[in-house]
Chain A
Amino acid sequence: MHRASRPYQDEALAAWRAARGRGVVVLPTGAGKTHVACLAIDDRRRSTLVLAPTLDLVRQWYDVLRATFGVPVGVIGGGDYGVEALTVSTYDSAYLHMEHLGNKFGLLVFDECHHLPGPAYALAARAAVAPFRLGLTATPERADGRHSELDELCGPIVYRKDIVDLSGGYLAPYETVRLTVELGPEDRRAHDEARALYRDFLARSGIRMSSPSGWSDFIIRASRSEDGRRAMEAYRRQREIAFAAPAKLDYVGLLLDRHRDDRVLLFTQDNATAYVLARRFLIPIITHETRVRERSEILAGLGRGPEDDGYGAVVTSKVLNEGVDIPEANVAVVVSGSASVREHVQRLGRILRARAGKHALLYELVTANTAETFTSARRRDHSAYR
């Protein structure tokens, strides 16, 4: 371990040590959570299993651990099964193999540990005997309230810094701008008709979407009748209209022109809208089906910019929400998204990695008088947006 730590990283390690090596460290994206984990591994010097939610993150961890500790690093997942004293795995693979892995490690590091309270992953955490556990996340809170299970699975939150605590110092200073657009008369009519049909079905079926099981109830009821299938189709239609309202797309064009010298990330809720934007504005797109080689080329191109045979903007749906490092990006445009606070904070996090002179800007486009208005209000319920 040769890299100098930032003061809050040392504080986080001290807090985790004081909790006898069990607990969750909450730091914003770009604040160096990985380095805190390396400090913890160095501190305990026990065999360690790092769990991450995606293969991209597994690769990033592999590179960091190899470079930091200079020892062989095992990988489990994506067709690999190699166990070493330092091993990285996806949550999925660890779950499948935990009966063989559970007694092999003294320290577990749960990256993006808000995934951990799911039923399967929780089982994997319980099957492991590791006395030392470190959870890392920018956003521990879950909409289903199960973040309380983190205490048992990993330990309590022992240290927390939010975006507002580090902005302007260790993170780039930033600004968020919410822009409201109106639907045209035809889209408005189509949207309202579809929404009425969908809501009528909910009312007739006695489904309350505000209840925890509301969405599941709707899917189950919708699959059982022609009426239900029409309601599902109407639900989708009104959502699509709100996500990709023509006025919204016009606004994206204006923003791309305004920020022609910046590096812009466009986020959408669904792949369909992402492809609409890629076609209309002729910008590269990254989705789950983008091959690794093309994806690496696009991210490297965004880093270089148009002046050096690269790109000025990239559109993506959800795959860049977590973990991917793009220090050059300084403008984010949330064209559409879910109500998830975590997703919204993670998207903001993508443009906050500090660089000299960088000022980050996040735009959120919301279609007026649609479900998006409510969705937007819910996802902004975080200190970073106040």
Chain B
Amino acid sequence: MLTADLVGARRRGDELRLPPTDEARRARIAALAEALTARARGELGRPRDDVEEALRETAAAFELPGERRLAAAVGKLVRDGLRFEESPAEDAAELRRALFKRAAVARRAAPLDRAVLLETFARERGTTAGALEAALFADRPGAQRLLAVEVPAPVLLAAGFELAEAQAILLRAVKVVAEIEARDAAGYRRLFRTLKFLRLLPVIQRREKRPGYRVEMDGPLSLFQAAGRYGLQLALALPVIAACDSWTIEADVRWGADRRPLRFRLGGAAADGASEPPLPDELAAFVAAFERADTGWRLDRAPAVLDLPGAGLCVPDLAFVRGRDGARVFFELLGFWSREAVFRRIDLVRAGLPHKILFAASKSLRVGEALLDDAQTAALYVFSRVLAVRAVVEHLERLAAS
């Protein structure tokens, strides 16, 4: 993913604009990507240091005057597609310090006998000379070897470049509003579930007079903490928004060194790249445990989007269906970044959401189950570390009986 400093956006009045993406620019991006990818392929099996040097050389050879930022941005996207081996984490720095100091003292006394020194040092540490040598620079990223080049084809990378720049701009957003229209319900569900999977804080409303939805999200600069991680999640949502049949985004951003408030707009028709998101980890673990247990309930993994006109939208993660009578209860895992999502759902229930639903929220959000004690069709389950099958089933039975 690009970072904000790699984006060649310019200010025009109160707006932030990307350079026009014409054929000539796309061709240059594709040419740079092709050269860098080809060079990376030639470096397969070599250490990261060599690969980096090779890419730097290639960028310098190919970039034209005034293209420094563009070449750096294409280089970043190419680097994102390189897979290196992983280094084991060892306390290598401490080992080096101790061994090299010992060697310095030994060399001062007499010509260094490397093998003897290593053997002695290793014995003192209860290891072997071979293991010692292997651990000596185990923390060094530059030595990791290039295992695979998984960069999109240059023409695809060029086609997606504008979106990549827009993603980087969203890292500087205070608020983002997306207007979207999808071909079918599956398209909406995919988007809404992705937003949930990314743990964003969307307020989703059906548009008046026109088909489609308006999705409002906080930007990372509106948060007090974890803004970097949240920004990354927000940026990851953009390709899914761009996969809708028609879409626009309007973002309030703070741009440049002086964090000037500007408005950024982008829109288009369906692009490739969206796929059904997986379940969040804690929910996936719960589903696996639930399916192993004998509860009398079965799971529906693709429940409908619940819409309460004028009040908002709820996107359940799952629905549970009781085997003996077909009673149906929706289930949504809430929040991550703030308690706001919990209170929004409570407002939705109080506004008359006509479905039985169980919400689950982590104890870390500091909310209590009593918040929904007076509701007939909804309940709140507060869990401490993992979602417990037994507790969920107890809530389901109570809601089914109400």
A contact set with B: CB distance below 8 Å: 81, 96-97, 100, 119-120, 215-216, 219-220, 222-224, 229, 232-233, 236, 253, 256-257, 260-261, 270-272, 275, 278-284, 287-289, 291, 294, 297, 301, 305-307, 309-313
Interface residues of B in 33-50 (CB under 8 A from A): 35, 38-39, 41-42, 47, 49-50
**B46: nearest residue on chain A (CB-CB)?**
A236
With A220-B61, A289-B141 as contacts: A309 and B101 at CB distance below 8 Å: yes
Q: For the complex, give the distance between the alpha carbons of A294 and B92 in Å.
A: 11
* B401 close to chain A: CB less than 8 A: no
Q: Is the CB of A260 within 8 A of B140?
A: no
Q: For the complex, give the distance between the alpha carbons of A252 and B321 in Å.
A: 76
B contact set with A: CB distance below 8 Å: 5, 35, 38-39, 41-42, 47, 49-50, 53, 57-58, 60-62, 65-66, 68, 93, 96-97, 99-101, 103-105, 107-108, 111-112, 114, 117-118, 133, 136-137, 140-143, 256-258
Q: Is the CB of A279 within 8 A of B142?
A: no
Q: Is the CB of B107 within 8 A of A272?
A: no
Q: Is the CB of B65 within 8 A of A119?
A: yes
Give 16 A-B contacts (CB < 8 Å), ordered by A residue.
A96-B5, A100-B257, A119-B66, A119-B68, A120-B68, A219-B61, A222-B42, A256-B112, A270-B53, A272-B47, A272-B50, A281-B112, A288-B142, A291-B93, A311-B104, A312-B104
Contacts of A301 in B (CB 8 A): 101
Query: Of B38, B107, B114, which one neighbours A312 at CB under 8 angstroms?
Result: B107
With A257-B112, A279-B133 as contacts: A310 and B104 at CB distance below 8 Å: yes
Query: Of B50, B93, B142, which one neighbours A294 at CB under 8 angstroms?
Result: B93
**A220: nearest residue on chain B (CB-CB)?**
B61
Q: How far is the CB of A113 from chain B (nearest CB, A)?
A: 20
Q: Is the CB of B258 within 8 A of A100?
A: yes
Contacts of A278 in B (CB 8 A): 137
- Residues of B contacting A: mostly: helix
With A232-B42, A306-B108, A310-B104 as contacts: A282 and B258 at CB distance below 8 Å: no
**A100: nearest residue on chain B (CB-CB)?**
B257
Query: Of B58, B97, B99, B142, which one neighbours A223 at CB under 8 angstroms?
Result: B58
Q: Is the CB of A283 within 8 A of B42?
A: no
Q: Is the CB of B117 within 8 A of A229?
A: no
Q: Is the CB of A283 within 8 A of B100?
A: yes
Q: Is the CB of A306 within 8 A of B5?
A: no
**B34: nearest residue on chain A (CB-CB)?**
A223
**A224: nearest residue on chain B (CB-CB)?**
B38
Query: Of B50, B60, B117, B142, which one neighbours A282 at CB under 8 angstroms?
Result: B117
Q: For the complex, give the distance between the alpha carbons of A97 and B49 in Å.
A: 29
Contacts of A313 in B (CB 8 A): 104
Query: Of A271, A282, A284, which one neighbours B114 at CB under 8 angstroms?
Result: A282
**B103: nearest residue on chain A (CB-CB)?**
A282
Q: How far is the CB of B12 from chain A (nearest CB, A)?
A: 14
Q: For the complex, give the distance between the alpha carbons of A261 and B123 in Å.
A: 28
Q: For the complex, give the distance between the alpha carbons of A184 and B142 in Å.
A: 29
Q: Is the CB of B60 within 8 A of A311?
A: no
Q: How far is the CB of B6 from chain A (nearest CB, A)?
A: 11
Q: Is the CB of A229 within 8 A of B99?
A: no
With A223-B58, A310-B101, A311-B104 as contacts: A233 and B143 at CB distance below 8 Å: no
Contacts of B50 in A (CB 8 A): 236, 272
**A281: nearest residue on chain B (CB-CB)?**
B112
**A101: nearest residue on chain B (CB-CB)?**
B257
**B53: nearest residue on chain A (CB-CB)?**
A270
Q: Is the CB of A220 within 8 A of B5?
A: no
**B35: nearest residue on chain A (CB-CB)?**
A223
Contacts of B133 in A (CB 8 A): 279
Q: How far is the CB of A143 from chain B (nearest CB, A)?
A: 14
Q: Is the CB of B61 within 8 A of A289?
A: no
Q: Is the CB of B68 within 8 A of A100?
A: no
Q: Is the CB of B142 within 8 A of A287?
A: yes
**B38: nearest residue on chain A (CB-CB)?**
A223
Q: How far is the CB of A340 from chain B (nearest CB, A)?
A: 15
Q: For the complex, give the distance between the alpha carbons of A119 and B68 in Å.
A: 9
Q: How far is the CB of B42 from chain A (nearest CB, A)?
A: 4
With A96-B5, A306-B104, A310-B101 as contacts: A219 and B58 at CB distance below 8 Å: yes
Nearest first, the 6 A-B pairs at minimum CB distance are A282-B103, A306-B104, A216-B61, A219-B61, A229-B42, A223-B38
Given A257-B111, A275-B140, 19 additional A-B pairs, CB 8 A: A96-B257, A97-B257, A100-B256, A100-B257, A219-B57, A219-B61, A219-B62, A223-B35, A223-B42, A229-B42, A260-B107, A270-B53, A281-B112, A281-B114, A282-B117, A284-B100, A289-B141, A289-B142, A305-B104
**A123: nearest residue on chain B (CB-CB)?**
B66
Contacts of B99 in A (CB 8 A): 282
With A219-B61, A281-B112, A282-B112 as contacts: A271 and B103 at CB distance below 8 Å: no
Q: For the complex, give the distance between the alpha carbons of A100 and B111 in Å.
A: 58
Query: Of B66, B93, B107, which one neighbours A257 at CB under 8 angstroms?
Result: B107
Q: Is the CB of B107 within 8 A of A256?
A: yes
Q: Is the CB of B42 within 8 A of A233?
A: yes
Q: For the complex, give the distance between the alpha carbons of A317 and B333 in Å.
A: 53
In this complex, the member of B47, B65, B101 whose beta carbon has the largest number of chain A beta carbons within 10 angstroms is B101
Contacts of B42 in A (CB 8 A): 222-223, 229, 232-233
Q: For the complex, give the distance between the alpha carbons of A272 and B140 in Å.
A: 12
Q: How far is the CB of B4 from chain A (nearest CB, A)?
A: 11
Query: Of B58, B111, B114, B142, which one neighbours A280 at CB under 8 angstroms?
Result: B114
Q: How far is the CB of A41 from chain B (nearest CB, A)?
A: 24
Contacts of B65 in A (CB 8 A): 119
Q: Is the CB of B137 within 8 A of A275?
A: yes
Q: Is the CB of A306 within 8 A of B107?
A: yes
Contacts of B97 in A (CB 8 A): 284, 294, 297
Q: Is the CB of A289 within 8 A of B5?
A: no
With A219-B57, A275-B137, A289-B140 as contacts: A307 and B108 at CB distance below 8 Å: yes
Q: How far is the CB of B146 from chain A (nearest CB, A)?
A: 14
Q: How far is the CB of A118 from chain B (nearest CB, A)?
A: 9
**B49: nearest residue on chain A (CB-CB)?**
A271
Q: How far is the CB of B394 from chain A (nearest CB, A)?
A: 50
Contacts of B104 in A (CB 8 A): 283, 305-306, 310-313
Q: Is the CB of B142 within 8 A of A271?
A: yes
Contacts of A287 in B (CB 8 A): 142
Q: How far is the CB of B104 from chain A (nearest CB, A)?
A: 4
Contacts of A271 in B (CB 8 A): 49, 142
Q: Is the CB of B105 within 8 A of A306?
A: yes
Q: For the complex, give the distance between the alpha carbons of A158 and B328 in Å.
A: 86
**A284: nearest residue on chain B (CB-CB)?**
B100
Q: For the complex, give the distance between the alpha carbons of A96 and B3 in Å.
A: 14
Contacts of B61 in A (CB 8 A): 215-216, 219-220
Q: For the complex, give the distance between the alpha carbons of A272 and B137 in Å.
A: 12
**B97: nearest residue on chain A (CB-CB)?**
A297
Q: Is the CB of B101 within 8 A of A306?
A: yes
Q: For the complex, give the distance between the alpha carbons of A283 and B99 in Å.
A: 9
Q: How far is the CB of A222 from chain B (nearest CB, A)?
A: 8
Contacts of A272 in B (CB 8 A): 47, 49-50
